[in-house]
Structure 1
Amino acid sequence: MADQRLNYVNGEWTESRTGETFETTDPASPEEVIATYPQSDAEDAEQAIEAARDASDDWGSTPGPERGRILAKTGSILDERKDELTELLVREEGKTRSEAGGEVQRAIDIFHYYGSKASDIGGTVKSSSARDTNLYTKTEPLGVAGLITPWNYPIAIPAWKIAPALAAGNAVVIKPASLAPGVVHEMADALEEAGLPAGVLNVVTGPGSEVGGTIASHEAVDAISFTGSTAVGNTVYDAATEDGKRVQLEMGGKNPTVVSDSANVEEAADIVANGAFGVTGQACTAASRAIVHEDVYDEFVDAVVDRADAIDHGHGLDDPGMGPHVSESELESTLEYVDIAQEEGATLECGGSALDREGYFVEPAVFSDVDSEMRIAQEEVFGPVLAIIPVSSYDEAIHVANDVDYGLSASVVTDDHTEANRFVEEVDAGVVKINEKTTGLELHVPFGGMKASSSETYREQGDAGLDFYSITKTVYDNY
């Protein structure tokens, strides 16, 4: 029997005002219903915001070390439940067991990290130019943080928004993505068990137009952090900034890996294949373009095709090489881009077809003979589709890498130190990697994009995550 889940508002698990629900299903077995959730509306979101507003002052005045102990304990509780969280993530989102387990571990690590960082929040002391004067800064929470999170990393992304927001002393309202909200509910349960006061965290499920729109525009919300598509993100930005909210957006990507003629081709193929096909290509940092020097182009294409052909598919709980797309619509979008690429003249080297089996499975697709002006090279696909673009020089590779609207993650595979340093300086991306795949992030350093990939306001994770959820007062104390 499917789980019956509720909203979490003011420390209580409650039904929505509408009484309506929606279901999540297993993308590897779509007939299997995993859970039902409240189909909430604007009034439900308003109740959650009011609860957060009422709880924000007490939580903001709670000493940082005490807040940190609750976060650290939450990390320990999540660790104890890692196996069940991993299974739930697999069954709702479709990742393989290894991928889901890695994501759950990341959430655990994030709570422990910000649990320790909470003790350091306070301010700095400076030497005044005047006598008999203390000069210092005081860091304070913003108040209420509204969070809108995606389905593709359904526990890691909520964790790296919730944990710093709470560490900094803010109350939170979060709308998780409707395709895979279960692990956020489990996170709320762990925080409650760890001692988080009622109202400090509130979880409301439902449509973005109703719940997300209310969170973004409500006058009692002081900050909005959004991760999702660029189109939706821009709508959220307009709604949030109308009354001066602090806003942080992380959105789409069209991430390149440049393969130099000095690169080891087999190593480069491993790096690109892992970045392109991991998590079924459903990552904003996935490598969707390989920009390859013509001297190693043919060899590279053959090597990547070998790796794509070797990937096995199956239910994520069996830990295959690739799980399904999260939904039928995501699968159809990927298949549509495969058709578009062929219509525009790209050569389909392998894959690109839906598998003849239950679930939303697709063969990873590799395209050669791609021109940078093709849609397959310009638009985010969000599936296991790799466009390989030939170039004749390193200068041309940089030009092609930057010739898109996005600027999230980028990598280069090279044995030339000058090329590596030039890439860091010249590529338009917020995350730059040398001889590594475009995916994968460290939690204690800033994360964010450029151009249409980001609002370019505040970064996430590390100390930057705390900066977004905090405001600083400068105090002049003439004694």
Structure 2
Amino acid sequence: MSESVTDILNWIAGRPVVAQSQAWLDKFNPHNGRLLYRVSSSSAADVDHAVVAAKSALAEWSGLTPVRRGQVLTDIVALMKQRANELADCIAVETGKPPQDAKGEVGGAIMQGEFFAGEGMRLYARSLTSGMPGKYSHTVRQPRGCAGLIVPANTPIANIAWKTFPALICGNSVVLKAAEDSPRIALLFAELTKEAGLPDGVFNVIQGLGQPAGAALVEHTGVDVISFTGSTAVGRWIAATAGQRLARVSLELGGKNPFVVCDDADLDQAVHWAALSAFSNAGQRCAAGSRIIVFRSIYPAFVEKLVAKAESLKLGVEAGCDLGPLINPRQHAAALAAITGAGNAGAKILCGGGAPDSEALAGGYYVKPTLIEGVDPNSGLSCQEIFAPVATLYSVDTLQEALALANAGEYGLTAAIHTGSVDRAMWFAQRVRAGVVNINIGTYGSEPHMPFGGFGASGNGTREPGVEALDVYSELKNISFLVRSDQL
């Protein structure tokens, strides 16, 4: 794919549209810092245009049977498969992912589409019994209306699929606020939906910044359900703002996820999964294992192996590289500042600790895989999401102490424990404050049919994907009727 500067537009009512202000944002290649795209900088007027288009298309789309809607989603998935390499190339360029990671992400998005296309044949509700003779009752699912979807750039096509497919199968129309750092993949997806036969206006894309474009989508009275993945601070504002009009809100927010290694763990496997949890996607995962908690008796051996693993990882965007750059210069600067701050506070940086000195990577937003010990458990680095390849290490004597440290802080998204004991694993899994718990694997890895979401500041209790996502994007209606025996 060429790195020549391209104009990235909105997609409204089935066609590309320039922002009404004709203002533009610059999107830079995270690998080398060069200008990659000019992106339409949308305003509230553009959001209103998209919502009106979505509302106009709603009756036709929601009027189709769920089975027919599933067939259209199947056609979208078929086109994603045909153009998988193009989608992966786009992701690789605009996010800096190595090609194998970009292809894996596209594969995950395709699986998400396949799952929800099938839900068109299984949009189940319930039949209910009644205490009244001759009364029959059942529930049905009906669409909410216009769904406002706001996605981040860390796994862009996966995030789009995660929200769009369940929203569509339930009969909603969509206005997607694309991530400003991965704008073109949203436009490519929109083109696929049109080619697959999705009616114009059912899926719309707004480009631009969270303020004003994302905020305008949240505030728009025509938006009936909002699904947001991003920071806890923004999630709190969305909940308060949309709550004023009682719009339904689904929030998947940050995480500071614990990775516990017991003294009976397979150390090599624990190191393998700890490195993947902390450093894959350059640590830009809400489910990243950024707090590694190790039993004291094995701490030296584990740390030695993990440092060696971290130092062996290859940075870059070529095939076979382990991690790419951070997504933008702001994120890059924040990560480097956090590492410097930890060192100044007396923590010990075991490896990494800054940007690589390679000439080939000098222009990009790279951070070497970094491990830090001696960090105060109550400090910002221990408690706040960094979204970079940075993990902190802690030693404990008992599983109870590990659990207490794992549950410290406001987040509760994911957790992992490595142990050879089923008793230890289940004791921890039942008590750790997290929406997802993995045993002897990493802190991430939700599949299309599995609910994902967190406790506390990691979300508002909703779960996407899985069939639980249907509860986000549909209304439940109870219908009862009375059969009169005297009319037989």
Question: Structure 2-normalised TM-score?
Answer: 0.95
Task: Report the 3-state secondary structure (helix = DSSP H, G, I; strand = E; otherwise coil) of the residue aligned with 2:152.
Answer: coil
Partner Cα distance (1:446, 1:265) in 2: 29
1:474 matched residue in structure 2: 478
How many Å apart are 1:266 and its aligned residue?
1.8
Partner Cα distance (1:303, 1:374) in 2: 26
Letter in 2 for 1:306: A
2:319 matched residue in structure 1: 318
Partner Cα distance (2:76, 2:182) in 1: 21
Letter in 2 for 1:362: V
Q: Does 1:19 align with 2:22?
A: yes
1:396 to 401, 412, 417: 401
2:355 matched residue in structure 1: 354
Partner Cα distance (2:209, 2:57) in 1: 25
2:337 matched residue in structure 1: 336
Greater shift in the superposed pair: 284-293 or 337-346: 337-346
1:278 matched residue in structure 2: 280
Partner Cα distance (1:426, 1:123) in 2: 32
Measured against aligned partners, the alpha-carbon deviations of 1:20-79 in whole angstroms (never above 9, x if no partner) come to: 122322111211x33222111000001101111121122111111111011111111011
1:431 to 433, 436, 441: 436
Partner Cα distance (2:23, 2:37) in 1: 14
Say what the alpha-carbon RMSD is for the aligned residues: 1.2
The number of residue pairs the alignment matches comes to: 476
2:486 matched residue in structure 1: none
Q: Aligned ranges for residues 271-310 of structure 1 at < 5 Å?
A: 271-310=273-312
How many Å apart are 1:129 and its aligned residue?
3.1
Partner Cα distance (2:459, 2:308) in 1: 34
Q: Aligned ranges for residues 171-250 of structure 1 at < 5 Å?
A: 171-250=173-252
Greater shift in the superposed pair: 60-69 or 354-363: 354-363
How many Å apart are 1:165 and its aligned residue?
0.2
Measured against aligned partners, the alpha-carbon deviations of 1:423-459 in whole angstroms (never above 9, x if no partner) come to: 1111000010111100221110110011001112x21
Letter in 2 for 1:468: V
1:461 to 450, 461, 465: 465
Partner Cα distance (2:318, 2:18) in 1: 31
Letter in 1 for 2:478: T
How many Å apart are 1:122 and its aligned residue?
4.9
Q: Percent identity?
A: 36
Letter in 2 for 1:239: T
Kindly indicate whether the alpha-carbon contact (under 8 Å) linking 2:7 and 2:40 is maintained by their aligned counterparts in 1: no
Residues 193, 134 of structure 1: alpha-carbon distance in 2 compared, 3 angstrom cutoff? same
Kindly indicate whether the alpha-carbon contact (under 8 Å) linking 1:52 and 1:199 is maintained by their aligned counterparts in 2: yes
How many Å apart are 1:168 and its aligned residue?
0.3
Kindly indicate whether the alpha-carbon contact (under 8 Å) linking 2:175 and 2:204 is maintained by their aligned counterparts in 1: yes
1:368 matched residue in structure 2: 373
How many Å apart are 1:379 and its aligned residue?
1.1
How many Å apart are 1:344 and its aligned residue?
2.2
How many Å apart are 1:239 and its aligned residue?
1.4
Q: Does 1:133 align with 2:138?
A: no
How many Å apart are 1:83 and its aligned residue?
0.8
Letter in 2 for 1:459: R
Partner Cα distance (2:153, 2:281) in 1: 12
1:29 matched residue in structure 2: 32
Partner Cα distance (2:94, 2:411) in 1: 29
Partner Cα distance (1:374, 1:391) in 2: 18
Task: Report the 3-state secondary structure (helix = DSSP H, G, I; strand = E; otherwise coil) of the residue aligned with 1:295.
Answer: helix
Partner Cα distance (1:318, 1:463) in 2: 35
Task: Report the 3-state secondary structure (helix = DSSP H, G, I; strand = E; otherwise coil) of the residue aligned with 1:422.
Answer: helix
Task: Report the 3-state secondary structure (helix = DSSP H, G, I; strand = E; otherwise coil) of the residue aligned with 1:28.
Answer: coil
Q: Does 1:60 align with 2:62?
A: yes
Task: Report the 3-state secondary structure (helix = DSSP H, G, I; strand = E; otherwise coil) of the residue aligned with 1:296.
Answer: helix
How many Å apart are 1:115 and its aligned residue?
0.8
Kindly indicate whether the alpha-carbon contact (under 8 Å) linking 2:8 and 2:183 is maintained by their aligned counterparts in 1: no
Task: Report the 3-state secondary structure (helix = DSSP H, G, I; strand = E; otherwise coil) of the residue aligned with 1:36.
Answer: strand
Partner Cα distance (2:237, 2:375) in 1: 32
2:106 matched residue in structure 1: 104
Partner Cα distance (2:353, 2:72) in 1: 47
Partner Cα distance (1:127, 1:391) in 2: 54
Measured against aligned partners, the alpha-carbon deviations of 1:266-324 in whole angstroms (never above 9, x if no partner) come to: 2211111110010000100001011111000111111110000001112x243412211
Task: Report the 3-state secondary structure (helix = DSSP H, G, I; strand = E; otherwise coil) of the residue aligned with 2:61.
Answer: helix
Task: Report the 3-state secondary structure (helix = DSSP H, G, I; strand = E; otherwise coil) of the residue aligned with 1:121.
Answer: coil
Letter in 2 for 1:365: T
Kindly indicate whether the alpha-carbon contact (under 8 Å) linking 1:369 and 1:390 is maintained by their aligned counterparts in 2: no
1:420 to 422, 425, 441: 425
Partner Cα distance (1:341, 1:72) in 2: 49
Task: Report the 3-state secondary structure (helix = DSSP H, G, I; strand = E; otherwise coil) of the residue aligned with 2:424.
Answer: helix
Measured against aligned partners, the alpha-carbon deviations of 1:220-261 in whole angstroms (never above 9, x if no partner) come to: 111110000111111122111111000011111100011111
Letter in 1 for 2:234: V
Partner Cα distance (2:384, 2:345) in 1: 14
Kindly indicate whether the alpha-carbon contact (under 8 Å) linking 2:100 and 2:319 is maintained by their aligned counterparts in 1: no
**Could you list the runs of 5+ residues in structure 2 that have no partner in the other structure?**
484-488
Letter in 2 for 1:7: N
**Could you list the runs of 5+ residues in structure 1 that have no partner in the other structure?**
none
Partner Cα distance (2:456, 2:153) in 1: 23
Partner Cα distance (2:136, 2:144) in 1: 25
